[in-house]
Amino acid sequence: MKPLISVLIDTYNHERYIEQAVLSAVEQDFPEDDYQIVVVDDGSTDRTPEIVRKFAPRVRLLQKKNGGQASAFNAAFPELHGQIIALLDGDDWFAPGKLAAVANAFDEHPEAAAVSHGYFEFHHETGEAKLRAPERPEFISLSTAESARRAASLWPFLVIGALTVRREVLQRVIPISEALAFCADAPIAWGAMALGTFLLSEPYCYYRHHSANLHAVNQANREKVRRRMEMNERMFVEIEPLLIRMGISREAMLASFYPQWVLVSRSRLHYFGGSRLETLQTEMRSFRAAYTNPSLSYRLFKYLITGTAGCILSPRQFYTLWNWYGQHDIARFPVSLRKSS
């Protein structure tokens, strides 16, 4: 018989943390025969595989060459036998009762393709744990522009470690582009929201912040900051065609992830530059997301003034001017031209 749940732990050079992650899965108050634990090691060069092997045969270790988080998910998926997949990073850990809570939620909400929940944001250097949780349980989806806007605001609660999905979600998302060396859980999260996700308000995992996190980059290290920004931008590039394939409407996409995509692109272009074409693409994306029925006068303003400036100025010059323009509140448009709600 197949297990009900597969716990997938992805790891890379987590020798300081992996034992706690694995133990948190092994020690769940859930029937042992009803769940499997698979650890996929993305080419660690430290003692991570050695530590994981101590838990055999209860825990299965898959090893591969280093290729990033997306490649780890892609390699592990064929080895997962459960109808529900619980995701966990090798430097995070489950709280007691995690698997029972999500299994119950799936039973109570058969319409949900995924279940996620609150978590504790644990800061390794200080030992401080901050509660991050939605105000109330709720079902989120991308079915309409309004529901998609709400789902986007709750996306932070679909972090890896909190997100558990039905097998169908991964079948729709895998293979994930291996360009996503990290942030590869984002397509899974957006695929889950596209099919419908139930959020629990209780915290059932710990999300660890530490100096080696790929997202915890020292701002003085410009190359690593650039890589993080480029990876965040690539994440949205990969999400767009996924949602189109899943039948999500243009209106829902414009209301949900487009505004966040614009912010990421503007930041990268402002600080690190790029092509003038990228500036124009970003601003047209912003325009489509912000205005559903703009007047002719505003269209002309956007296309002629903003478009011309984007063609003449470098991205860094353009966004320096853009920031100055916004700070001085140069123009105010009549009510009929304001951003639609």
Judge whether 240 and 134 are in contact, CB under 8 Å. no
pTM of the model: 0.88
**DSSP 8-state secondary structure symbol assigned to residue 156:** G
Q: Going by DSSP bridges, is the β-strand pair 35-41/138-140 parallel, antiparallel, or unpaired?
A: unpaired
CA distances from 231 to 89, 177, 258 (A): 18, 12, 16
Using a 10 angstrom Cβ sphere, with 0-12 exposed, 13-18 middle and 19 or more buried, the burial of residue 335 is: exposed
pLDDT of 338 > 60? The answer is no
Q: 51-81, pLDDT tens digit by residue?
A: 999 999 999 999 999 999 999 999 999 999 9
Report which of residues 295 and 207 the model is more confident about. Answer: 207
Q: 134-160, pLDDT tens digit by residue?
A: 999 999 999 999 999 999 999 999 999
The full set of domains in the chain, from first to last, is: 5-209 (3.90.550.10), 273-337 (no CATH)
Q: 219-266, pLDDT tens digit by residue?
A: 567 888 888 899 999 999 999 999 999 999 999 999 999 999 999 999
pLDDT, residue 85, reads 98
The residue type of 220 is: A
pLDDT, residue 65, reads 97
Give the sign of the dihedral formed by CA 36, CA 40, CA 46, CA 49. Answer: positive
pLDDT, residue 208, reads 93
pLDDT of 210 > 80? The answer is no
Determine the average pLDDT of the residues in 198-214.
88
Judge whether 208 and 124 are in contact, CB under 8 Å. yes
Q: Cα-atom radius of gyration of the chain, to the nearest Å?
A: 22
